[in-house]
Structure 1
Amino acid sequence: MANVSVLLSDSKTGRSSSTVQVRLLRFLAAMNATMIPATVNVNRLATHMPNLKSSSVYSLTVFDVTRCNQNYRLSDSALLIRFSDSNSFNEVKPAILIPLEFFWLRHNHSDMLCLANTNTQFLDLIGEITVVMSTVTDPSQDKNRVMATIKMDNDMYVTMSLFDSQAVKIHNQQETMRGNPRVVVATSVNPKMVGRTRHWAYTSISTAKVESLSIAELNNFVTTAPSQEIDFVCTGRVTGIKMEKEWCYVSCSNCDKKL
């Protein structure tokens, strides 16, 4: 029986016998490590590297799907495909048509807003820094955060959050500028809506409409929505919350993901 074609978003962890057709957007080699990040082991480079060409479309069969290491994520997906000796990896000619909007770099504010809270696509952001709030101290502590208010070209304001080493880096840059005009180019930011505030989370293809719902409507959805298969990224129990700082986090000790 022929393999069934599926979408990447439908992948589940474990060995898959399905076939997916994908476009290679970018090929990144790890110069100081033994792996190309989260994809091809060094022992299989000679097998797969000659076939890797940017913008090409491939048919990939018999692949392993596993959880993405939170410290080395190259996309917003929680899963990654791991190449193995059993892979069938062939270029598709002529290439299938993948809609152009899937690769559209959205710089317009309204286009960014429709992706808020979807966790489906990282964006690029260009704007002027108007206000900076920082918890970075000298010397810097383990937990650092910077919140910068960004004015975009259409006079819309968004808030960009940076954490840990990125927060320290941008804090030090702002200190050296001392109020001079500051334009920021941020890549791979994750758009969020916190209440009615536009919030861009600085990180590490459907669209969704942001709506305001009442608690009663949310409760009704939980009780009446069709049952779904639950797939936990990680589980744990909150044993305590420290209130010394203005912001609080819940962080997993295994994947380091913050909530």
Structure 2
Amino acid sequence: MANSYTVLADLRAGRCSNTAEVRLLRFWEAKNINKRGQLMSVEMLLVDEHSTLIQGSVLAAIQLTFRSRLTEGSVYTLSGLDVTRSNPKFRLSDGPVSIRFNEGTAFEKLATTTRIIPTEHFRFRPYEQILELANTGKQLPDVMGEHRAIRSTITDRLPGAQRVMLTLRLEGDVNRAKDYSGHMHKSEDSFR
């Protein structure tokens, strides 16, 4: 019997044999600084077609099984995983759960997909919330800046989402704009 398809928002704590289709946004090694940088796990951020972001972990003991398959930006089918509650001390997404790969996890790269899965995911926080989270170690923002402008443009006649350009003011009054495809450029310069 084939596994049924699920979306990340429907995951509940326990073993999950359903299949999800996800994009691997980022991955990195988590090391224990108290044990001379010993590898604890490979951490990752995954997103599905509903823009649901979830944190994934592969423990050091089994990371070699999956490591060679990890390519940021690629789309995968994922099944046979453990769903756990998110660690309140180290949360990279707003979801109540995270996932852990195990020996029975199937994680296969897809050459093509019919699903429209975002290539980036952004979380916006009001300045007051950022101040509350400062130095708590509970959130790890990639970029902090002041939202200056947002606009959507249609650059072609293909169906799907429009391009969105976001301009942020960063430290030192440098403005940066980012579009959905991940191209970053200085707004005062003409390069991309």
**TM-score higher than 0.5:** yes
Alpha-carbon contact 1:56-1:95 (below 8 Å) kept: no
SS in 2 for 1:40: strand
Q: Which has the larger radius of gyration?
A: 1
CA distance in 2, matches of 1:27, 1:104: 14
Structure number with the higher strand fraction is 2
Runs of at least 5 residues in structure 2 that lack an aligned partner in the other structure: 32-36, 44-55, 137-142, 146-192
Match of 1:58 in 2: 76
* Paired-residue identity, %: 32
Structure number with the higher helix fraction is 1
Pick one of 30, 40, 60 that aligns with 1:34.
Answer: 40
CA distance in 1, matches of 2:127, 2:28: 30
Matched, 1:73 2:79: no
- 87 and 166 in structure 1: CA distance in 2 versus 1, 3 angstrom threshold: same
Runs of at least 5 residues in structure 1 that lack an aligned partner in the other structure: 106-121, 126-157, 168-184, 188-259
Alpha-carbon contact 1:67-1:80 (below 8 Å) kept: yes
Residue type of the alignment partner of 2:77:
S
Match of 1:163 in 2: 132
Alpha-carbon contact 1:59-1:91 (below 8 Å) kept: yes
Higher relative contact order structure (alpha carbons within 8 Å, sequence separation ≥ 6): 2
Alignment RMSD (CA, Å): 2.4
- 44 and 104 in structure 1: CA distance in 2 versus 1, 3 angstrom threshold: closer
CA distance in 2, matches of 1:44, 1:83: 8
Alpha-carbon contact 2:13-2:85 (below 8 Å) kept: yes
Residue type of the alignment partner of 2:94:
D
Match of 2:175 in 1: none
Q: Normalising by the residue count of structure 1, what TM-score does the alignment of the two structures yield? A: 0.42
Residue type of the alignment partner of 1:103:
E
- 9 and 164 in structure 1: CA distance in 2 versus 1, 3 angstrom threshold: closer
CA distance in 1, matches of 2:114, 2:26: 18
